[in-house]
Amino acid sequence: MRKKFYSVLFAIAAALSVPAVPQDGMPWAPPSVQKPEPILHDLSKTQDVSGFLPKEVLIRTMTQSYCKYYEFALANGRIYAKKPGEDKWELFLKTGLPFRSVGGDVFDSPAAIREIACDADTLYAFDDQGIMYTIYFKKIMRQKPFKWSRIYGFPRRNYVQQNEMVLNKRGWSMGARREEILWYEDRYGNQHHWGTMGLETFYFLTEDGQHIRFCDSGLPPDFSRCIECPEKGSFIAENISVSGDTIFLIGNRGTMYTRLIDFDTMGCDPMFFLYTYDEEVQKKSGTDYLSNYTAWALPAEDWARQVPIPLDGKARLTKMISIAQTGQGNYARELRVAGCNRDGVIGYWHKMLYENKWSFVPADLTLDESVWLDPSKEEFGKELTHSYEGYITKDGARLDGVSCSLSGPTLSSEDRCTLTMAKGGEAFSCTLFPVEKWTYLLRYSPGFDGSPRNYFVTPELDERKLEGYSGEFKDILCDLFKGKNHSLFVYSAIGAADYYEIDMDGGRLGSSYRILMTKDGGDMPPKVLRGGGDLFQPGSNLENPMDAKFLLDEGRGYTGADRLLVQERLAANVSLAERLRAAIKDNEVHRDSSELSRWGYNLLDLVTRITFLNRLNVPKIKQMTSFGRNIMNSNANLYGELLAYGDWTYPAMLELVDLRIRYYGKLLKELKDDGEEAFLKKGFHNSFLSYYEDAGLAVRMEGGGDGLDGFSMEGMFPWFMIEKADGSSILMRLEGSARSILDGGRKFRFPASFTVVSTDSKGKTSIPDRGRDSVDIDSYNGEFYWDGRQAKAYLKDSMFGKRLIFKGAPAQ
């Protein structure tokens, strides 16, 4: 009954809170396009360590693996299986390939399987196109046993395909944490029952050996989440193996680390688990189902450095490592490392996870020369940390004289960093623990692709020290931090390589604080920087319209001999225009669905509050309602900002591309085979900058102490920055300017849009910023006039009124 009610509640929450969005997600999400040529190839030479269809799989690799129920091996692109202790290998489920079951997921069987991993009750397999398939050996919730599935993830299931983030990985593996392990033990020794669902997680060690990309069955199917390797990512791992969500890594000099970590244990799932940063003693045993409802201690366990293998005599190690579940709890894991002993005998070293001594077992292993470790190579590189500097605002106004800095974040899915605030010679520091919020969005590489990671943040500090500060600085610190030590997820943050932003509510007066920091310590708000990221990251459906593949030379003549070139450039622009229009349309759908998600969840929250169901912790209604509103609202707000940036950029790019399509098409019709040259329309240009030069619109204008600067990123965007004499800045976008200039004339009137970029020293600007919850970049509309000598920018501040915010002429 409990399990059934839990499932019903989960389904209601999902139905109300998840937007019905296209599966390709945001523009930077990996495209759902199968490639005709294989992207994964036969790895048997290096990965068949136990031999071809061996008597026993001794080392788990990307082509051979074992779990409680089966041993698996790949041969000629097919999956072979046998039960432990048996000798005969057979094609798994008679075909050795994933296939559609009656009433199951719809897909065609792949040509070949190239990589596999299994753990506990689950097998994961990737075909030659890098597409993943899963199968369970027993019933898991709604998943029937021995039924292949290609769709994966939650809430909107899609297929997983290896992309540029992981294709050149050093290794990958998967782990399942369910009844075979029975419980998870947190950092203070408290045991927590696996519940009724558990999870399986796959982990990819990236090409540089310093990042681990992961996803699980309860997350959107992408590679966006990340765990840094040991020592703030400075450890360079050669290979990875996983079991029971315990990660095992090895470096070139034989240094080994282990860590049990997944999305749940790192603290990212407060809708379904209680968490605490305080050391608590839980009385319930992990064999008791109700221990699943006790608070899980955070942060997750640290990386543990394993005792070294003795490398005397002829002893050598390979990167072929293996970890496997052997029983219940965290510690029931056996580690294996293939290599040779001091006498040069081939075999593997092994020990249990927390034993202090390795033992050697001779074995007939096939070890390619390329898998042996090279001790001459470094095992540690540069720490993958970031630092930021900035300021703090209170209720939207900047606090004079208060500086802020953040050191140590890695922008991974769970982090640890130091926040420092200073004023008048006094400085305060505390530790912050960010953990990534769950999101329903498909993403590419948040933090590094123009979109940020979205965090819950918990502070750690000695509150007694707050009394040692003086005056206004003491008041600020007490308002922000008093009573907040280990207060679970009391702050929120978003972080990216160029900026970091922390939202903090004051304790006494209910004021809203926001810490705004950038990599270079500049004053540009993160809200604007979020729009300044690269639109054309790998995996994006869009391309840079200023790339040579889209351009014809404006000045040269073309003949019939150039027909193919003109056709290619025209076709490229037509394709890009279609993708831009699709992105604009998707923006409209996504905006509506993200708001529906926010209000759908809030409706569920309201119902549970009215009925007092939110006070129940069995089943987990209280967890769902405690943090669900925060998660859904922050998703909707952040999503809204990113969509607004699309509204700001896509139409501008489309304006240029549509003009190319029109005039490239006319040129194509005028081409002749007799050698006579045809030209593009006089005044046609590929960039906004060239149009503005024709109109005499200077890149720099000045007037009344104000300045106007054009910066259009390769001429791609019709953007100008208005720099006010008081130090504030306003970004202006012109609309339809290229078309108007091409049509001719000496005087121009362009519709314009404005957004606040930075404020003056008192937190004010010439136009009001709509505050911390504004997600609209196109906040204000107006007009821009240019008569060939003077420019004027007007802001519409009422239905019929307008206000002059810039007047100037070209700078001398």
Q: What is the pLDDT of residue 529?
A: 59
Return the SS3 of 785.
strand
| Region for 233 from its dihedrals, namely left if φ exceeds 0, alpha if ψ lies in -120 to 50, beta otherwise | left
Within 8 A by CB and 6+ apart from 162, the residues are 39, 40, 126, 130, 132, 169
Buried b (16+ CB within 10 A) or exposed e, 702-737: bbeebbbbbebeebbbbbbebbbeeebbbbbbbbeb
Q: Can you tell me the mean pLDDT for 624-639?
A: 58
Q: What is the pLDDT of residue 673?
A: 87
Residue closest to 193 by CA, chosen among 90, 96, 289, 258 = 289
Q: Which DSSP helix (H) or strand (E) runs through 369? A: none
Q: What is the pLDDT of residue 157?
A: 75
- Lowest-pLDDT choice from 86-100, 538-552, 670-684, 685-699: 538-552
Look-up of token digits 């790949």: 74
pLDDT band of residue 510 (cuts 50, 70, 90) is low
Q: Is the pLDDT of residue 296 over 60?
A: yes
Q: Is the pLDDT of residue 432 over 70?
A: yes
Whether residue 98 contacts residue 125, with contact meaning beta carbons closer than 8 Å, is answered with yes
Q: Hey, which bits of 56-119 come out as E strands?
A: 64-66, 71-75, 78-82, 90-91, 113-119
Q: Can you tell me the mean pLDDT for 533-552?
A: 75
Model pLDDT for residues 258-269, shown as the tens digit of each residue: 999 999 999 988
Q: Is the pLDDT of residue 610 over 50?
A: no
Q: Is the pLDDT of residue 148 over 70?
A: yes
Distance CA 140, CA 92 (A): 20
Proportion of the chain above pLDDT 70, given as a percent: 81
Say how many Å lie between the first and final Cα of the chain, rounded: 80
- Lowest-pLDDT choice from 224-233, 365-374, 383-392, 728-737: 728-737
Distance CA 491, CA 637 (A): 16
List % helix, strand, coil for the chain (3-state, nearest 5): 20, 30, 50
Return the SS3 of 202.
strand
Q: Per the structure block, which two tokens stand in for 89?
A: 């290998």
Whether residue 316 contacts residue 341, with contact meaning beta carbons closer than 8 Å, is answered with no
Provide the mean pLDDT of the chain.
Answer: 85
H-assigned helices in 525-619:
526-529, 563-610
Q: What is the pLDDT of residue 7?
A: 39
Q: Hey, which bits of 725-779 come out as E strands?
A: 729-734, 748-758
Return the SS3 of 427.
strand
Model pLDDT for residues 157-207, shown as the tens digit of each residue: 788 999 999 999 999 999 999 999 999 999 999 999 998 878 899 999 999
Q: What is the pLDDT of residue 713?
A: 64
pLDDT band of residue 627 (cuts 50, 70, 90) is low
Q: What is the pLDDT of residue 712?
A: 67
Q: What is the pLDDT of residue 530?
A: 56
pLDDT band of residue 550 (cuts 50, 70, 90) is very high
Distance CA 213, CA 470 (A): 45
Which DSSP letter does residue 656 get?
H
- Lowest-pLDDT choice from 55-64, 230-239, 610-619, 777-786: 610-619
Residue closest to 249 by CA, chosen among 217, 219, 216, 206 = 206
User: 319 or 788, which is more confident?
Assistant: 319
Whether residue 316 contacts residue 323, with contact meaning beta carbons closer than 8 Å, is answered with no
Q: Which DSSP helix (H) or strand (E) runs through 624? A: helix 621-670
User: 408 or 611, which is more confident?
Assistant: 408
Distance CA 277, CA 274 (A): 11
Q: What pairs with residue 246 in β-bridges?
A: 243, 260
Neighbours of 176 (CB within 10 A): 30
Q: What pairs with residue 699 in β-bridges?
A: none
Q: Is the pLDDT of residue 74 over 60?
A: yes
Q: What is the pLDDT of residue 342?
A: 97
Q: What is the pLDDT of residue 141?
A: 67
Q: What is the pLDDT of residue 780?
A: 81
pLDDT band of residue 14 (cuts 50, 70, 90) is very low
Whether residue 23 contacts residue 32, with contact meaning beta carbons closer than 8 Å, is answered with yes
Amino acid 140 reads I
Q: Is the pLDDT of residue 615 over 50?
A: no
Whether residue 192 contacts residue 286, with contact meaning beta carbons closer than 8 Å, is answered with yes
Return the SS3 of 619.
coil
Whether residue 217 contacts residue 233, with contact meaning beta carbons closer than 8 Å, is answered with no
Which DSSP letter does residue 84 get?
T
Q: Is the pLDDT of residue 420 over 90?
A: yes
Rounding to the nearest 10 degrees, give the CA dihedral for residues 605, 611, 612, 613. -70
What count of residues does the chain have?
812
Q: Can you tell me the mean pLDDT for 768-776?
A: 44
Largest interatomic CA distance in the chain: 92
Q: What is the pLDDT of residue 806?
A: 93
Q: Is the pLDDT of residue 281 over 80?
A: yes
Return the SS3 of 640.
helix
Residue closest to 120 by CA, chosen among 84, 66, 74 = 66
For the chain, how many helices (H) and strands (E)?
8, 41
Within 8 A by CB and 6+ apart from 445, the residues are 28, 165, 223, 224, 537, 539
Within 8 A by CB and 6+ apart from 523, the residues are 390, 391, 758
Which DSSP letter does residue 690 get?
H
Buried b (16+ CB within 10 A) or exposed e, 31-53: eeeeeeeebbeeebebbbbbbeb
Q: What is the pLDDT of residue 155?
A: 75
Return the SS3 of 762.
coil
Q: What is the pLDDT of residue 535?
A: 60
Q: Is the pLDDT of residue 344 over 90?
A: yes
Q: Can you tell me the mean pLDDT for 786-792?
A: 93
Whether residue 335 contacts residue 258, with contact meaning beta carbons closer than 8 Å, is answered with yes
Q: What is the pLDDT of residue 474?
A: 95
Q: What is the pLDDT of residue 140?
A: 76
Q: Per the structure block, which two tokens stand in for 155?
A: 């809430």
Q: What is the pLDDT of residue 25?
A: 35
Model pLDDT for residues 704-752, shown as the tens digit of each residue: 889 988 876 678 889 898 888 887 888 888 999 999 999 887 789 999 9
Whether residue 374 contacts residue 344, with contact meaning beta carbons closer than 8 Å, is answered with no
Of 184-188, 396-400, 798-802, the range with the highest mean pLDDT is 184-188
Q: Can you tell me the mean pLDDT for 749-768?
A: 73
Q: Can you tell me the mean pLDDT for 128-150?
A: 90
Look-up of token digits 């006070």: 615
Q: What pairs with residue 389 in β-bridges?
A: 405, 518
Distances (CA, A) of 145 to 32, 101, 133, 178, 726: 27, 11, 14, 15, 68
